[in-house]
Amino acid sequence: MLGTVMVNQISSYSLQLVAPVRHHFLGRGEVFELAERLYGPFDWGPFNPQSRVEMQTLEKLLQWLVETTGHQNMHLQVANSLDVGQFGAVSYYLLSCSSLHEFFVQLTRVQELLFARTEPLTMRHDEFGLYLEMKLSHTATLQVQRRIEYVFANILRMIRSIAGNQCVPERLELPWADNDRKEGLQQAFECLVEYNSQKIRCVFDSRWMVENLANANPSMLEILRPEVDRMLNSYHKGTTFIQRIYEILIGMDSLVGVTLTSIAQAMAMSESTLKRRLADEAATFKSLITSYRQTRTLELLGLQDIDYDRIAHQLGFSERASFERAFKGWYGLTPSKFRNLTRLCTISTPQIDLQQDSHLPSAPGVCRDVIMLLNDDQYEMGSLVSIIRQDPVLTGKIIGMANSAFFGASPVLELEQAIINVLGADTVMNLAIAMLAGSELTRHHPDLIDLGEFWTQSLSAAWWAEQLSHQAGNNKAVCHQHYLVALLAQIGLLLLASLRPQEIKVVWPLLNESQSLQEQIRIEQRALGINRFEASSILLAHWKLPGAVVQQIQAISNILRKIHRDGPDVKIVLAGVVMSRNMDHNDLGRVLDQIQSWFPFRMDDSIKALLSENARRVIPEIRELAHHMCA
């Protein structure tokens, strides 16, 4: 029976490669039961290096899949359902890689656990690209072609899980030709397919050599390395002594109360013999239990329906807090963040392409008119009053803000009085554009993002940017522009939520846990192919806001993605955004010290103290202002 007896490892694959086919027929169990009678049976369970499926069996199974569905490229379609943790510790080992180059290096190292040894994968790179290659030693029949295509489709699914859906090859070179299927292959692989090459070659752009991946975790990679080595050893030698102990542990409901004595009894040997056999494997009972916990916890966290208390109990921890401390000590992140990262890897929807205007909402009429005034140096105050008055809700919000503590809490009843005597035309235009944009972008999913917190942070960023701009010696017009740029810099987050609500639900917990803007940007790029600042700049350009505003927001994205550095104007706005993220920090002066190098001026301690004191004073007022914006 496959998975329980040794099969020819030279020409066999991990049984887990059959899982996507099985997953495709989950709703039609009788269909896959027929496949098991014809080509199996298959012994399903956790990833085990010894559970294999013969090369010819996989070929027959894929042919059966195509014939059963009547779709000649169905084998490529089902490969997209490969689970993130399909290969157990090996999956998470690969998931931890810092770059696609490192992924290829590690994939070639562990490939025999997953693929047939007769068709080894190799990798190379040069200044033009990154290459994953395979050379066939025999003629490729149609069945062989399907099998190889299926293997590469699974590899590319693993790559997209790790690097995001934007990580697709430039081309796939195949040593055969089938023009009837070429268009379908190009659609499935999302790249150019070239025929009649000397070998199978998957070519990626050279930028992926150094592109940082969102899931990079060097600590996890190092911790899992011994476990991967053990799997390779088990694969070569057959079931090892430690593997036998692991199988006993996996069969237990909980490790609570597990001792050297209980394991020795389960293995029908004395404690001294167990100790000696473990020593022969360069292990102790304590190190074995720790290693088992380190790998098993990843597999359990990958199962989204198992809660943390249950995982802690299964792994033998006395309480959830002990488990969470141990996990963070091993891997440098919390179990919840790891689970959220694995959810991130499940996003398989197409990347957002905002360069197509059809994906962008039009500016609301009143907003469009306000933007026209913003671009007109000769506008009349009466025109602004008339435009705002067209929107009764906006009118009420403007009057409410004029009465807020932030603007002096003066009793104001009329719109003209609010604009002329309290707020000023520039402030009204800035806030009107922000509020109208927010209303438009959250119409369909108003509860997806906490708008009170969003506007609190945006208003805080705008306040800081204006204050820092003033300290830089800029005139009033430039200070107002910095205020507007910081206020609208992250409006793209609302746009992304409106276009991809389900993906944002997955991403949101990770964004909240992220400690830095750079990390948030990497997560957004990974999940959606675009980040909030890029989305903001594209939307605001589409709405025809001043070019300087659009360019500065795009420049923020470029700085955070390390595409290039930009001038002091952009860094003042970026500093405002950073300070807004730290508005509850105990020592704002220290945060200012950390970003001092961004400013074209030197702030002495008295200025930092004054800015910090003012910030603490206005934070409650800004929160009140944010409440008016989303009321």
For the chain, the domains span 9-209, 240-344, 357-630
Helix/strand number for the chain, H first, E second:
31, 7
Distances from the Cα of 89 to the Cαs of 183, 222, 228, 251, in angstroms? 36, 12, 7, 17
What is the distance between the alpha carbons of residues 438 and 397, in angstroms, rounded to a whole number? 13
Say whether 258 sits in a helix, a strand or coil.
coil
Phi then psi for residue 265, to 5 deg, are -65, -40
Which secondary-structure segment (H or E) carries 433? helix 425-441
- In three-state secondary structure terms, 252 is coil
374 with 431: CB under 8 angstroms?
Answer: no
Measured in Å, how far apart are the chain's first and last C-alpha atoms? 65
pLDDT of residue 3: 39
Token pair in block for residue 621: 């007022």
The class that CATH gives domain 240-344 is mainly alpha
Instruction: Return the pLDDT at 5.
Output: 42
The Cα–Cα gap between 161 and 630 comes to 36
Give phi and psi for 48, each to the nearest 5.
-140, 125
The Cα 458–Cα 455 span in angstroms is 5
pTM attached to this predicted model: 0.76
User: What CATH topology corresponds to 357-630?
Assistant: Hypothetical protein af1432 (1.10.3210)
Q: In this structure, are strands 200-205 and 129-134 parallel, antiparallel, or unpaired?
A: antiparallel
Domains 240-344 and 357-630 share a fold: no
Check residue 351 and give left, alpha or beta (phi > 0: left; psi -120 to 50: alpha): beta
- Tell the residue number behind the tokens 């026209």, with chain if given: 372
Are 153 and 188 within 8 A, CB to CB?
Answer: yes
Question: Do 591 and 585 meet the contact criterion of CB atoms below 8 Å apart?
Answer: yes
- Which letter does DSSP use for residue 122 in this model? E
CATH architecture, domain defined by 9-209: Alpha-Beta Complex (3.90)
Q: Are 539 and 532 in contact (CB under 8 A)?
A: no
Torsion angle of C-alpha atoms 553, 557, 563, 567, degrees rounded to 10: 40
Spatial distance between the Cα atoms of 225 and 229, rounded to a whole number of angstroms: 6
Phi, psi (rounded to 5 degrees) for 350: -60, 150
For residue 175, give the nearest of 208, 204, 152 by alpha carbon. Answer: 152
Classify residue 595 as exposed, middle or buried by CB count within 10 Å of its CB (0-12, 13-18, 19+).
Answer: middle
Longest dimension (CA), the chain: 94
Sheet holding 192-194, edge to edge: 121-126, 129-134, 200-205, 171-173, 192-194
Q: What is the pLDDT of residue 559?
A: 85
Give the residue ranges of the chain where pLDDT is below 70.
1-8, 26-29, 239, 348, 356-358, 563-568, 600
Residue 251 pLDDT: 87
Kindly tell me the burial class for residue 266, based on how many C-beta atoms sit within 10 Å of its own C-beta (0-12, 13-18, 19 or more).
Answer: middle
